[in-house]
């Protein structure tokens, strides 16, 4: 659909754009492209809209300037659908950053806020049919019935491109056309882990102070699937994260920053202005220059703050509902989470802020005070994306990480000891699988013997099992040939299902072994992933064995 671009793309960006173009050529109308935060989605967008009559839609009005600056950075002259005040402000930002303006009211490419676009529908009625491509960032918001769906439907002759780092919704709605969205095809680009390994994003280290008593059990979820703002504000106030009339200082955001990341450029996500003001005051009181910003901070003031942050005049940005989706930030070194979220998408957006490359930065540091990592897992862990709907159960992920009680470093739950300080938390009860995370090598020998006996019972010959069953029926006065025939079929079916299951378990375990995992790590990963230990899986009956086998094959 597009011609040769003059924009310089990285190899993985070139591959992604080629796959997008191929999908359009093969008949897809609307495409959802997936690329991690920091992977350069706006560069890919700029290349695709270059020379095309197109409209890039910002999902929040204040992000129109961000998209305009991103297009300008890539040399794309564009029109801006907005008030004269907004246009003047953005042109001023162009001049300040690039020394020239990239605004042209007759340009082929346009940038518009979703609300402005809908509001000006009649005014734009002659232009809308001429648009050949619409593009929307943070496209996981887009469903048929909401305002983003209404906005893209205004372009009757255009193909569509949605881009996102997290192609799922907290409410479980499907983004595919046959479900709740408008997308025909999903194209997944390089993963976060691939970009880290290839040097395009920074490696990270996570710390989670274990003293926090944050309780989110009573916090209600909004229609979008995240915690209510009032609920998380009250939970944080009661948790001891900050000095507050209702709390004591338990997990002090400031003291942990000073311990883990002193002198690093940091951003702290907070749930509300009151909490933000308290943390801002605490940082400044210990000599760490900090400033509170939110979505209502005037654009010129916000730009000035970011410039001072980039030059380290401010060392901490305290943020309320601003630097999440779509907002571009200077490279930062440390992220403090004092805002819990039930949304995996928002969690990844927050996390991604610390992964951008920066000269001299070896790791992005994440200090999680509110259990976001424990809830959502590591953001670079492999995930299966789909355009279909998902139930709450399908969206949930097992807890795959734990925090070291000695140094607060967060590491994969299957590790026996903390990779950072070497601390090994001795299990208090070795007779329980829960206490050893399914690690059979740590279980008490009596417990292990019982579990092996259950597997041996399944392994016995069909004749022996049926004969024992017959004897039990006879002693109970219920002996019947029909019962024995059913038992014979049941045993055969179970053993056949077990054979398939064990073959797949062996294959799965072999793959883990090829990645350098030890036996105890393999047992733990299996337990964490499938919610059953290695031996108990080999004692399952026919139906349960078949169900587990399907999960392992995926």
DSSP string, 344-356: HHHHHHHHHTT-S
In degrees rounded to 5, what are phi and psi of residue 159?
-85, 165
* Section 327-342 average pLDDT: 83
Predicted confidence at residue 245, as pLDDT, reads 44
CA distance 204 to 96: 33
Tens of pLDDT, residues 76-119: 999 999 889 889 989 998 998 899 999 999 999 999 999 999 99
Predicted confidence at residue 327, as pLDDT, reads 57
Strand partners, 366: 206, 335
Give 529: exposed, middle or buried? Use CB within 10 Å, 0-12, 13-18, 19+: middle
Residue in 245, 342, 300 with CA at minimum distance from that of residue 93: 300
CA distance 107 to 125: 17
Three state DSSP letters for 119-180: HCCCCCCCCHHHCCEEEECCHHHCCCCCHHHHHHCCCCCCEEEEEECCCCCCCCCCCECCCC
Residues in the chain: 554
Which is it for strands 410-412 and 401-403: parallel, antiparallel or unpaired? antiparallel
Tens of pLDDT, residues 161-194: 999 999 988 788 999 999 999 999 999 999 999 9
Is residue 244 predicted with pLDDT exceeding 50?
Answer: no
CA distance 468 to 336: 62
Predicted confidence at residue 247, as pLDDT, reads 39
CA distance 332 to 351: 11
Predicted confidence at residue 510, as pLDDT, reads 94
Predicted confidence at residue 298, as pLDDT, reads 81
pTM: 0.80
CA distance 121 to 152: 11
Q: Which residue has the higher pLDDT, 456 or 220?
A: 456
The residue extents of the domains of the chain are 11-190, 196-425, 434-553
Residue in 255, 274, 245, 244 with CA at minimum distance from that of residue 209: 255
CA distance 271 to 281: 16
Q: Which residue has the higher pLDDT, 396 or 253?
A: 253
Is residue 64 predicted with pLDDT exceeding 50?
Answer: yes
In degrees rounded to 5, what are phi and psi of residue 403?
-105, 130
Is residue 280 predicted with pLDDT exceeding 60?
Answer: yes
SS3 content of the chain, % helix, strand, coil (to 5): 45, 15, 45
Tens of pLDDT, residues 460-518: 998 888 888 777 766 655 656 787 888 889 999 999 999 999 999 999 999 999 989 99
Report the CATH fold assignment for 11-190: Rossmann fold (3.40.50)
Is residue 541 predicted with pLDDT exceeding 60?
Answer: yes
**Residue 248: which pLDDT band, with cuts at 50, 70 and 90?**
very low
Predicted confidence at residue 400, as pLDDT, reads 83
CA distance 332 to 343: 22
Tens of pLDDT, residues 185-230: 999 999 999 999 999 999 999 998 865 566 777 787 776 667 777 8
DSSP type of residue 183: B
Predicted confidence at residue 345, as pLDDT, reads 85
Predicted confidence at residue 135, as pLDDT, reads 98
Mean pLDDT of the chain: 87
Are the folds of 11-190 and 196-425 the same? yes
Is residue 271 predicted with pLDDT exceeding 50?
Answer: yes
Predicted confidence at residue 212, as pLDDT, reads 53
Strand partners, 55: 110, 134
Least reliable range by pLDDT among 241-250, 379-388, 439-448 = 241-250
Is residue 249 predicted with pLDDT exceeding 50?
Answer: no
How many Å is the Cα radius of gyration of the chain?
Answer: 28
Tens of pLDDT, residues 364-375: 999 998 889 988
CATH number listed for the domain at residues 196-425:
3.40.50.300
Q: Cβ distance 137 to 49 under 8 Å?
A: no
Let me know how many helices (H) and strands (E) the chain has, helices first: 21, 15
CA distance 310 to 293: 15
């Amino acid at each position: 659909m597009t011609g040769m671009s003059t924009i310089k793309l990285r190899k993985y960006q070139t591959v992604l754009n080629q796959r997008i173009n191929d999908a359009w050529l093969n008949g897809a109308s609307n495409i959802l492209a997936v690329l991690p935060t920091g992977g350069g989605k706006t560069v890919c967008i700029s290349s695709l809209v270059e020379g095309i009559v197109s409209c890039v839609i910002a999902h929040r009005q204040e992000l129109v300037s961000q998209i305009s600056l991103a297009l300008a950075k890539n040399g794309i002259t564009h029109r801006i659908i907005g008030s004269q005040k907004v246009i003047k402000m953005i042109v001023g930002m162009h001049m300040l950053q690039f020394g020239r303006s990239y605004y042209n009211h007759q340009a082929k490419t346009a940038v518009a806020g979703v609300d402005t676009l809908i509001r000006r529908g009649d005014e734009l009625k002659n232009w809308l049919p001429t648009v050949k491509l619409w593009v929307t960032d943070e496209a996981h918001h887009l469903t048929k019935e909401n305002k983003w769906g209404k906005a893209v439907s205004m372009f009757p002759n255009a193909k569509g491109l949605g881009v996102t780092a997290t192609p799922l919704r907290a409410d479980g709605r499907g983004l595919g056309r046959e479900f709740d969205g408008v997308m025909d095809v999903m194209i997944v680009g390089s993963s976060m882990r691939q970009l880290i390994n290839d040097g395009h994003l920074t490696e990270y280290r996570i710390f989670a102070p274990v003293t926090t008593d944050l309780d989110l059990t009573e916090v209600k979820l909004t229609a979008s699937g995240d915690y209510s703002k009032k609920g998380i504000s009250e939970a944080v106030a009661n948790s001891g994260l900050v000095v507050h009339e209702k709390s004591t200082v338990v997990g002090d955001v400031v003291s942990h920053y000073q311990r883990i990341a002193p002198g690093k450029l940091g951003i702290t996500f907070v749930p509300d202005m009151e909490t933000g003001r308290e943390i801002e005051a605490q940082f400044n009181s210990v000599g760490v220059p900090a400033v509170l910003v939110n979505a209502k901070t005037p654009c010129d003031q916000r730009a000035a703050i970011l410039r001072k942050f980039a030059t380290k005049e401010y060392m901490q940005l305290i943020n309320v509902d601003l630097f999440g989706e779509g907002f571009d930030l200077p490279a930062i070194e440390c992220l403090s989470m004092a805002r819990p979220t039930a949304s995996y998408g928002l969690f990844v957006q927050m996390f991604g802020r610390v992964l951008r490359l920066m000269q001299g930065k070896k790791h992005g540091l994440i200090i999680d005070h509110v259990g976001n990592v424990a809830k959502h897992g590591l953001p670079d862990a492999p995930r299966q994306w789909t355009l279909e709907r998902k139930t709450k159960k399908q969206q949930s992920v097992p807890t795959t990480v734990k925090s070291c009680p000695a140094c607060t470093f967060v590491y994969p739950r299957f590790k026996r000891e903390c990779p950072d300080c070497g601390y090994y938390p001795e299990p208090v009860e070795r007779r329980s699988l829960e206490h050893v995370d399914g690690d059979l090598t740590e279980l008490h020998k009596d417990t292990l013997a019982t579990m092996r006996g259950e597997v041996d019972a399944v392994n016995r010959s069909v004749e022996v099992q049926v004969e024992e069953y017959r004897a039990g029926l006879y002693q109970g006065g219920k002996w019947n040939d029909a019962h024995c025939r059913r038992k014979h079929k049941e045993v055969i079916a179970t053993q056949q299902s077990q054979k398939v299951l064990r073959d797949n378990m062996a294959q799965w375990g072999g793959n883990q072994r090829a990645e350098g995992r030890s036996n105890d790590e393999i047992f733990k990963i299996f337990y964490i992933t499938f919610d059953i230990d290695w031996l108990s899986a080999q004692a399952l009956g026919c139906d349960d064995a078949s169900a587990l086998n399907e999960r392992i094959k995926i």
